[in-house]
Structure 1
Amino acid sequence: MKLLRYQYPTAHSLRALNQRVGCGAPGLSRLSGALDDLLGSASTSVETVPVDLFEAEEGYFARFELPGMKKDSIGLRLEEGVLTIEPIDATAEGGPRFERSISIPDGVDHGKVGANYESGILTVSMPKEEARKPRQITVE
């Protein structure tokens, strides 16, 4: 069962959109510059990583697209029910700048969360906790 629809990367500012389209409308350029200045957008903006979330009988799966990344340059952490992915050395000149955080569903066994990176796809597996079985308590 798919939990989250694929989210396509988007332009981070009107200026970037204007450059992609190449329409060269001066009014749009001025407006995009003003909005970028107001909102604090810059060429150093952080990209959002596309992700697909799936649920299977045995657990949940998150699939991140990270083409061209090396396995040892991907930072992944789980903290207080939030899974965050970012580059290990985001300060490197010209290095990738991205970040993505997702909330983990209830019922995930945090101790068994694992990740696999292959062909530009990072797959994080989040096994479900075993259902607690009722036990009989003897009254003494």
Structure 2
Amino acid sequence: MKLIRYEYPQAPATSAFNRLFDLGAPSFQRFGNLFDDFFGSNAGFGQPSADLYEDDHNYYVRMELPGVKKDTIDLELENAVLTISSAHEAKDKDTEESYSFQRSISVPDGVEVGKVTAAYEDGILTITMPKAEARKPRQITIK
């Protein structure tokens, strides 16, 4: 069984101080990026990690999505790319809650597209992609 864990690149805010002394950009651009890192953009954040693994019969994608409601999750499989996305907004008298993410994963060759299934339980999304018969390992007898 193979297990591949996606490693996110270094968080942009941690390298902002180093970029402050980057002499390749004009000073106003350096300070603009610094403020974006701390107050504005969260590039790389908010995207859930995915565990990708396989066994003899299936490929799997497992994502931890705590607090995400099942009915807000959208799955789309098109041109060998599996896209998982969700968006939610709720406004109350005093509070406002919102989240959104989109994650695309390349699907290996030999997946039976019509038999792909997904299950969501206790904040864990598991997508099962059955391998085509030609991709499954088989025992060969020696004559």
TM-score relative to the length of structure 1 = 0.68
- Gap runs ≥5 in structure 1: 19-26, 133-140
**How far apart are 1:76 and its partner, in Å?**
1.0
Q: Cα 1:7–1:67, aligned 2, differ >3 Å: closer, same or farther?
A: farther
Superposed structure 1 runs of 4+ greater than 6 Å apart = none
Counterpart of 2:98 (choices 89, 95, 99) is 95
The Cα shift of 1:77 comes to: 0.7
Aligned mates of 2:127, 2:10 — CA distance in 1: 23
Q: Name the structure 1 match of 2:50.
A: 51
The alignment's C-alpha RMSD in Å is 3.3
1:21 matched residue in structure 2: none
Q: Describe how 1:1-140 pairs up with structure 2 within 5 A.
A: 1-7=1-7, 11=11, 13-14=12-13, 17=14, 28=17, 31=20, 33-35=31-33, 42-43=40-41, 45=43, 47-87=46-86, 89=87, 94-131=97-134
Percent sequence identity is: 49
Please state which structure has a larger fraction of its residues in strand: 2
Q: 2:85·2:102 contact (CA, 8 Å) conserved in 1?
A: yes
In the TM superposition, what whole-angstrom CA distance separates every residue of 1:90-134 from its partner, at most 9, and x where no partner exists? 5766321211111001100011111000111100000011229xx
Unaligned runs of 5+ in 2: 21-29, 91-95, 136-143
Distance, in Å, in 2 between the alignment partners of 1:30 and 1:81 is 37
Distance in 2 (CA, whole Å) between partners of 1:91 and 1:42 is 19
Amino acid of the residue matched to residue 61 of structure 2?
A
Using the size of structure 2 for normalisation, the TM-score is 0.67
Q: Residue type matched to 2:77 in 1?
A: L
Alignment-mate amino acid for residue 2 of structure 1: K
Q: Contact conserved, 1:82 with 1:101, CA < 8 A, in 2?
A: yes
CA distance in 2, matches of 1:70, 1:54: 24
Query: For 1:56 and 1:68, how far apart are their aligned partners in 2?
Result: 29
Q: How many residue pairs get matched?
A: 119
Tell me the distance in 1 between the aligned counterparts of 2:19 and 2:10. 20
CA contact (8 A) 2:81 2:106 kept: yes
